[in-house]
Structure formats: C-alpha cells, structure tokens
Amino acid sequence: MAHDPTDPEKSAMSSDDDAAQHRAARRRRLDSVFGDDLPELTSDESDQHHTGHSKDWFEAQRPPHHG
C-alpha cells in the first residue's frame, strides 16, 4: 500500500510523528545545554513544609514602597 498524502488519517499520524520528533530533538538540545539533572518534583510541589523564615520576618523585610 503506497503512501497517500490526501489520506487525512495518515496525514494526522505523520503530523503527530513530526511533532514528537521535534519535541524529542528540542529536549536533547536543552539537555545538552542545561543538563538533565533537574529534579522530577520541585520543592513547591512537595508536601514538605517550608522551614525557613516566618511570615513576620518577610513582612519586616518588605521595602517601604510596597506599603
């Protein structure tokens, strides 16, 4: 069966494949520049509570122009 460019189903599959290949190539380029050692789960997504400064400390550090 020959490839029929007018077949919308095959055209959609080709488009999906092209998009997937583009995303994979982009990911490889980003990884080559920035590395791929980023955590899967960031600290703001985890259930661990922040143990840093209190709300009072942040309010005391607020610049006057932020009234």
Q: For 4, what's the count of Cα atoms within 13 Å in the CB-facing half-sphere?
A: 5
Q: Is 15 helix (H, G, I), strand (E, B) or coil?
A: helix
47, 41 in Cβ contact below 8 A? no
Q: What is the pTM of this model?
A: 0.37
User: pLDDT tens digits, the chain, 67 residues: what are they?
Assistant: 455 556 666 666 688 899 999 999 998 998 898 887 777 777 777 777 666 788 888 889 899 888 6
